[in-house]
Structure 1
Amino acid sequence: MVSKKERIMAMGKTDLGRAIFYMLLSTLGFTFMNVFVKYLVHFNAYELVFFRSLGSLFFTMGFLLQQGIPMLGNQKKLLVLRGLAGVTSMTLFFMSLKYLPVGTSVSIRYIAPIFAALFAVLLLKERIKAWQWVFFLMSFLGVIVLKGFDGQVSFVGLSLAMGAAIASGLVFILINKIGQGDHPVVVVNYFMFIATLVGGVLAIPYWVTPRGLEWLLLLSLGVFGFFGQLYMTKAFQGAKTNLVAPFKYMEVLFTGAIGFFWFNEVYGMWSLLGILLIVGGLVLNVWYKAKLEGLSS
């Protein structure tokens, strides 16, 4: 006979395994989106933003219409600001892929939580623990190693990726301010609508009509982005953040590997060390925050 405690433990392991599986599916979705953007980098970044957003907008608007959820939401100013910050981050990230290996660009973008913490200190008057500053410094040191010791890393690309991370950090703060006041899909729908509009208008002077397979690849950006977001949400809903969040950084490994085999991108010793420091600092911060939450509960 299996005891009740053993059944509960088995269910917990099953839920964790499913959450990790969802997170890996999410990272694969974002990986393919990033890789296809890199492949399509001969298109202007605004046109890439337009197609990536249009594909996801199809799913978000469809969901809201099906569920009868009002699209305009309740906190319109915050929703618009979140959309503008999001499209800024996306555009700068896509631009950076023209100058950086895809794995390097993804790694730098992932320091967004550090900027979110800085914004939280300045705007929300939150306090950051000493060890968190140590882990943030570790990630910033990784960026310094990338640029300071690897001569192949473009300053322009690095600046664009850092700008994307800063704007993404602001997105985290705005989402925190929105809180439970609006449905999550309404928040994403605002982002996708604004990004489609902004990307479409700004792309007009640089528009290049896709040919053949390019249509499919461009439209798939939104599909991969949507399902990456969907399965990431499912993963965080299914298990504790500290248990599944580290698997999110597998995106760096996946994109780096595909970049190596598909685009012949070479990562030198200093690049690998810089990426390791960036990801390591972020994972340690997730672990430390979860530990603090466990002690306070």
Structure 2
Amino acid sequence: MGNTTRHWMPEGLKYILVSSLAFALMSSCVKLVSTYDIPVLQIVAARAFISLLLSYAVIRRKGIPVLGNNKLLLTLRGVAGVIGLMCIFYALTILPLAEANIIQNLTPVFTAVLAISLLGEKVHRSTIACIALSLIGLVITVKPGLLVNSATDLPATGVIAALFGAVASAIAYTTVKKLSTTEDSSVIVFYFPLIALPVSLTLLGTDIVMPEIEALVLLILIGVLTQLAQICLTNAMRVEAANRVTAYSYIQIIFSMILGGLLFNEIPSVWTWLGGSLIVTGALINVFGNVRKQSQVSDMKTRTT
């Protein structure tokens, strides 16, 4: 049975499907637990606490220094991650599940812009196409009233929060790309909860709400599902090319649409489908454009050696 499964489904695809489903379920849990009047900062703190314990256990098992080498850049990664998570969690409490995930998937666009400006990467046609299609898709998704008067726009507060979350996540990803040459991946992951927990608890102050049993279970699930998603994503990156992992990961939007309909009776509008399709198309053009560019560079090196 196992050999049959491996034959028709690549191992990397299995990992990314589980990761995407776990991320979508985590988003659903965030949206559900917010109905129990649990503050967003408390949700962030609960998620960080579980992640801190699990990440620390992994580092101890590896026997590597807990705080890493480049502490300044690691701290920046942690701060950006905290801001991104707070904004994304807040957006999930306001926006429909599918729309929040679509806007969150603008992270690759902002990452491409930051890579050009901060890491000195070259501007390619695929990147320009990605940015253009994603911006058009964003406008169609959040502001369809510009095209059709009868269309309903998304709440501005939720959209702004989701966009800030995507930008902060892009900063975190760009920092991770820089850190990956000097730091163990477990240390990079560890810095997020290391900073997120004290920051969220400090900002939360005395506004902590004692959760009911159902809310407590959801808070625990948020941490566990996030850790499961990250582990599966890491395994997918280990056994599959990064471009394919990125392409596969957009299945999370489909999972979010299904869960939004089942749990919250949210039916995506035609504008969500159209705008989301443009955003995903733009991202995939950039992914496969980069693959083609790398292939051409590799061919050039082969010919000159």
Taking structure 2 as the reference length, the TM-score comes to 0.90
Q: Which residue of 2 aligns with 1:65?
A: 60
- Verify the 8 A CA contact 1:241 1:290 in the aligned structure 2: no
Q: Match of 1:26?
A: 19
Q: How does 1:1-297 map to 2 (within 5 A)?
A: 17-41=10-34, 42-149=37-144, 150-297=151-298
Asked if structure 1 preserves the Cα contact closer than 8 Å seen for 2:143 and 2:153, the reply is no
Percent same amino acid at aligned positions?
29
Q: Please say which of residues 281-290 and 224-233 is displaced more in the overlay.
A: 281-290
Residues 16-58 of structure 1 deviation map (CA, whole Å, 9 limit, x = unaligned): 7111001101111111111100101232111110011111112
Distance 1:246 1:65 in 2: 33
Q: Is the 8 A contact 1:106 1:252 kept in 2?
A: yes
* Runs of 5+ consecutive residues of structure 1 not aligned to the other structure: 1-9
Could you list the per-position Cα deviations for residues 47-106 of structure 1 after superposition, in whole angstroms to 9, with x for gaps in the alignment? Answer: 110011111112111111122211111010001110000000000000111221111111
Instruction: Give the deviation of 1:226 after TM superposition.
Output: 0.8
1:119-178: CA deviation from partner (whole Å, max 9, x where unpaired): 222222221202321122101111100122152411111110000011111112211221
Amino acid at match of 1:21: K
**3-state SS of paired residue (1:98):** helix
Query: Are 2:104 and 2:162, in contact at CA under 8 Å, matched by a contact in 1?
Result: yes
Letter in 2 for 1:261: L
Moved over 6 A (4+): none
Tell me how far apart the structure 2 counterparts of residues 15 and 260 of structure 1 sit (CA, whole Å): 30
Task: Look up the SS of the partner of 2:198 in the other structure.
Answer: helix
SS of the residue aligned with 1:278? Answer: helix
**Matched letter for residue 30 of structure 1:** F
Q: Distance in 2 between matches of 1:141 and 1:126?
A: 24
SS of alignment partner, residue 73 of structure 2 = helix
TM-score, reference length from structure 1: 0.92
User: Which region of structure 1 is more displaced relative to structure 2, 204-213 or 79-88?
Assistant: 204-213
- State the number of aligned residues: 286
Q: Amino acid of the residue matched to residue 293 of structure 1? A: Q
SS of 2:287's equivalent? helix
Contact 1:55–1:220, Cα closer than 8 Å, also in 2 = no
Q: Could you say what secondary structure the match of 2:205 adopts? A: helix
Counterpart of 1:3? none
* 87-96 or 174-183, larger mean C-alpha shift: 174-183
Please say if residues 139 and 282 of structure 1, whose CA atoms lie closer than 8 Å, have aligned partners that are also in contact: yes
Q: CA deviation at 1:272?
A: 1.4
Distance 2:15 2:113 in 1: 30
Unaligned runs of 5+ in 2: 145-150, 299-305
Distance change in 2, residues 1:114/1:262 (3 Å): same
Paired residue type of 1:18? E
Q: Distance in 2 between matches of 1:157 and 1:18?
A: 36
Judge conservation of contact 1:15–1:238 (CA < 8 Å) in 2.
no
